[in-house]
Structures are given as C-alpha cells and as structure tokens.
Amino acid sequence: MAWMEKSVTEQRKEFVLLARMADSNISELSQRFEISRKTAYKWLARYDPQAPDGSLQDRSRRPLTSPNHSSLELEQQVLTVRAAHGAWGARKIAWILSHEQGLDVAPSTVNSILHRHGCISESASQAATPWQRFEHAAPNDLWQIDFKGHFPLRETQIRCHALTVIDDHSRYNIVLKALQYETRLGVQAALTEAFERYGLPKRINADNGPPWGASARITDRRPLTQLGVWLIRLGVQLSHSRPMHPQTNGKDERFHRTLKAEVIACKNLIDMVHTQQEFDVWRQIYNHRRPHEALQMQTPSQRYQVSQRIYNPSLVPIEYQNGDLVRKVGQEGWLSFKGKNIRVSKALNGFSVALRASQRDEQAWDIYFSWAKIGQINLADPCFN
C-alpha cells in the first residue's frame, strides 16, 4: 500500500501511536505499514508526544498551577485553542490546556471566557448535546460505515461524497475518504486499504441503501449486494440498520456532525485533492489529540487496537456441510429447488448456495452463502406455487 506524500507525517504519527498501545505487535504493525522493524523502532525512539510534529526534542511541562499567568493571558490561550478548533467546547479546551500546556483551568472558566467573547451561540449549545449510545465491548467488534451527505467544492462542479468508517467501541476513525461517487468500487477500495492496515472487523453495519443494501426484500433478510458477497467471503458480517432508524449507526452519525462542524463548514475546500488533504490532517487530530467526552475525555486512539484478524486478499473456496442441498444461482439471482423457482440475489449469479432444513418447520429452509445465513424460505408460501 503506497503512502501518499501529502500525509507522510500523519502516517508516521499514526503508526507510533498505535505501536505504543498495550499489547501491540511491532513486527505485525510494521508489515501493515510497509516499514522495517529498524525504521519502526527509530520512529518510536524519536517520537515526542508533546511536539505538534512529533519532533525529537522533549518539551518541558509547566506546573499545573501558574500564579504568574494573568487572566488576560489565560483568555488568550483559551481563544487560541478555540480559533484553531472552532467547534471544540469548554471541556475539550480545558483538557488540552491541562495536558499539553500544564494549565489547571476549570471547564466552567473556559465556558465563561467563550461566552464573554461571543464564541458560543444558543444553537451551538443545543447542537453539542451528547448522544447516549450502546457500546460494543472491544475494538473491531463492529465498524459503522456510511456516506456523509454530499457537499459542493469551491473550484469544481464535482460534489464530494465523504465515506466514513467508525469503530463502535473506541470511536476511532478508520476511514475518511473524499470520493466523487457512492459506488461499490470506491467503497471496496477504501475498505481494502483499511483492512490492510487495521485488520478485519467482526461485523460492519450500514444503512439500507446502495452500495451495501438492496432496495427490495425477497426472503426474510435483505438481499446481498456484490459488496456484501465480498465481505462474507472475507469472513466479515454485514448488517443493516432498521429502515427509518439512522440512530442504529449513531456513532457514525455523530461523527458526521463533528466532521461538518470542524472541517466542512469552516474550511474553504477547493477540490477533491485539497479536501482529502484537510481530511487527513483533521483525522489525525480527531483520533489522537481531540478528547472525546463519551470516552471520559480519552482520545479514540487510547481505546483502539488493530484487529488480530489478518486480511487475506485471496478468497478461499466456498465449502458447505455434509447434508446441505447445494444449488447454483443463475441469471438475475434465481435458483430452482424442489420444483420451485426462488430468487435470492443477483449478486450471487454463478455462485452456489446451500439450503438446510429448518428445525422448527418442515416446509422452511434456511439459505446459506458460505458461512452466512442470508435468508429463509417456506415452500408452503403461496408465492412459490
């Protein structure tokens, strides 16, 4: 996986921060980032977490209290952080001032300064209300994927479609990609790059639209798309949010709000290249510097670990159990079973699926593709007569 020159520093930072996590495997991580072990340890030795660019020199920390600071100086430091990160609130700014500059300042004090200087509107306060969400127990148990609503760029007629992937447990941003179209090929290329770096998740949750969902329901489950077929063959489960319930992907929806406030609304995005550059810089801040209130002011990188499930681009042959009734799917996704014509999914054209008798109903049959159950049919249903 070739690195883009525009983000070499960010790539190095990401490697170091992931490598410094507990139980990280330096050798395996080096292979994923396509660097030697010698280079890996060189970066680890040189890295200075206090320096914005991770330079060699250690920066001394100031004491937690500093009686020589005047109120005017404190206000200026608060406003400087706010100017650099216009959507950050009082708790994030107070945390940054404490951990990066050694200033012991209460969030209430920061909030008062921001209000006094007209930095917080009533609508902004309401929009900052946190969402309460269920959280999976470990990193890579679930990734949430979606497109941020498309938006115009300044010097082109092209509209940007931002593809985002968030790890449910840690809120770590796995993918932030500026794409011209919402197509399977673009999504699959971005996911391949993510799998090469971070390994495979157990499950990915998406909404019900293309390219990950089909518009019609034939069996009791949503028909597979080509993207879903590819994920199943990799051993990744693809699930879908309930229709009209975007909160099922709530963490990614919340991430979209943050992305809009901190990048799209305040950066003068020129074209696709410039947009991706801004995404790369901000993604580094979001994952490794910006404290997250839902994580008790930890950063996502403090809770994320790369997956131990290694990505293998060579798809293994599909095998079924002894006793399965195997049928090949024909054109338009149809198969013939016990004299009935059954449509499963056009994405399965040319593949074989297995039918297994249900334990609860002798007329019901479960349909499997590889290891995954993709639906169930009941031969007594009038639609098959």
pLDDT, one tens digit per residue, over 137-151 is 799 999 999 999 899
pLDDT of residue 131: 45
Q: CA-CA distance, 78 to 289, in Å (whole number)?
A: 16
pLDDT of residue 76: 80
- pTM of the predicted structure, to 2 decimals: 0.72
The residue ranking higher by pLDDT, 378 or 305, is: 305
Q: CA-CA distance, 231 to 245, in Å (whole number)?
A: 23
Residue 337 neighbours by CB distance under 10 Å: 16
Question: What is the three-class DSSP state of 174?
Answer: strand
pLDDT of residue 53: 63
End-to-end CA distance of the chain: 52
- Percent helix, strand, coil in the chain, to 5, is 40, 15, 45
Longest dimension (CA), the chain: 88
Are 196 and 1 spatial neighbours (Cβ–Cβ below 8 Å)?
yes
Residue 214: pLDDT band with limits 50, 70, 90: low
Q: CA-CA distance, 199 to 201, in Å (whole number)?
A: 7
**Closest of 370, 344, 328, 139 to residue 235, by C-alpha:** 370
Q: CA-CA distance, 87 to 346, in Å (whole number)?
A: 45
Span of 219-223, 269-273, 275-279 with lowest mean pLDDT: 219-223
Query: Angle at which helices 71-84 and 107-116 pack, to 10 degrees?
Result: 80
pLDDT, one tens digit per residue, over 18-44 is 988 888 898 899 888 888 988 888 888
pLDDT of residue 349: 94
Helix H or strand E encompassing 252? helix 250-259
Are 142 and 201 spatial neighbours (Cβ–Cβ below 8 Å)?
yes
Distance, CA of 230 to chain centre: 18
